[in-house]
Amino acid sequence: MTVDTNEHPFIERGHQLAAHNSESHRPKVLWIVVGIVVLLVLVLAVVLVWRHLDAAKKVAPAPPKITITTATANKGDIGVYLDAIGTVTPVYTASISSQVNGRIVAVHYKEGQLVSKGDPLIDVDSHPYRATLLQAQGALERDESILAQAKMDLERYRAAWARDAIAKQVFDDQEKLVLQDEGTVKNDQGTVQFDQIQVDYCHITAPIAGRVGLRLVDPGNVVQSAGAATLAVITQLEPITVIFTIPEDSLGPVEARLQKKAKLTVDAFDRTAQTRLASGKLLTLDNQIDTTTGTVKARSVFDNKDDALFPNQFVNTRLLVNTLQGVTLIPASAIQQNGQASFVYVIQNNIAHMHSIKPGVTDGGLTQVDGINPGDVVANSSFDKLQDNTAVVISNKVSTKPAPSGTSGSSTP
123-165 tens-digit pLDDT:
999 999 999 999 999 999 999 999 999 999 999 999 998 888 8
Distance CA 183, CA 132 (A): 21
Q: Could you tell me the CA-to-CA distances from 168 to 177, 205, 312 in Å, in that order?
A: 14, 57, 75
The per-residue pLDDT for 382 is 85
Q: Could you tell me the CA-to-CA distances from 189 to 27, 133, 149, 152, 265 in Å, in that order?
A: 155, 11, 18, 21, 55
30 pLDDT exceeds 80?
no
356 pLDDT exceeds 80?
yes
246 pLDDT exceeds 80?
yes
Whole-number percent of the chain with pLDDT over 70: 85
For domain 82-91+235-320, give the CATH superfamily.
Efflux pump adaptor protein, beta barrel domain (2.40.30.170)
Alpha helix (H) ranges present in 125-239?
127-162, 168-201
Distance CA 244, CA 162 (A): 80
Poorest-pLDDT segment among 13-17, 136-140, 392-396: 13-17
12 pLDDT exceeds 70?
no
Distance CA 304, CA 311 (A): 11
* Candidate ranges 25-29, 33-37, 78-82; pick with highest mean pLDDT: 78-82
The per-residue pLDDT for 408 is 42
Comparing CA positions, the residue from 354, 350, 353, 346 lying closest to residue 328 is 346
332 pLDDT exceeds 60?
yes
Comparing CA positions, the residue from 197, 191, 214, 74 lying closest to residue 137 is 191
187-222 tens-digit pLDDT:
999 999 999 999 999 999 999 999 999 999 999 999
Q: Which amino acid is at 279?
A: S
User: Could you check whether 68-80+324-394 and 82-91+235-320 share the same CATH topology?
Assistant: no
Domain spans of the chain, in order of start: 1-60, 68-80+324-394, 82-91+235-320, 97-229
Angle at 211 (CA atoms; ends 298, 226), nearest 5 degrees: 90
115 pLDDT exceeds 70?
yes
19 against 285, higher pLDDT? 285
The per-residue pLDDT for 32 is 75
321 pLDDT exceeds 60?
yes
Mean of the pLDDT values across residues 11-35? 58
Question: What single DSSP character describes residue 312?
Answer: T
The per-residue pLDDT for 322 is 86
57 pLDDT exceeds 90?
no
Could you tell me the pLDDT band of residue 47, with boundaries at 50, 70 and 90? confident
164-173 tens-digit pLDDT:
888 889 989 9
Task: Say what the pTM is.
Answer: 0.65
Q: Could you tell me the CA-to-CA distances from 298 to 81, 346, 396 in Å, in that order?
A: 14, 43, 46
The per-residue pLDDT for 209 is 94
79 against 218, higher pLDDT? 218
- Give me the sign of the Cα torsion angle 112, 113, 119, 124: negative
Distance CA 81, CA 410 (A): 4
404 pLDDT exceeds 50?
no
Q: Could you tell me the CA-to-CA distances from 402 to 83, 281, 343, 354 in Å, in that order?
A: 27, 29, 22, 23
Could you tell me the pLDDT band of residue 22, with boundaries at 50, 70 and 90? low
The per-residue pLDDT for 407 is 40
Could you tell me the pLDDT band of residue 410, with boundaries at 50, 70 and 90? very low
Could you tell me the pLDDT band of residue 3, with boundaries at 50, 70 and 90? very low
Task: Return mean pLDDT, the chain.
Answer: 85
Could you tell me the pLDDT band of residue 296, with boundaries at 50, 70 and 90? very high
CB atoms within 10 A of CB 250: 18
- Give me the sign of the Cα torsion angle 33, 37, 40, 42: negative
409 pLDDT exceeds 80?
no
The helix-helix angle for 127-162 and 168-201 (nearest 10°) equals 160
401 against 258, higher pLDDT? 258
Comparing CA positions, the residue from 389, 379, 376 lying closest to residue 333 is 379
Question: CATH 2.40.420.20: does it fit domain 68-80+324-394?
Answer: yes
β 102-107/74-90 pair status: unpaired
- Give me the sign of the Cα torsion angle 298, 299, 300, 305: positive
Distance CA 58, CA 64 (A): 18
The per-residue pLDDT for 48 is 74
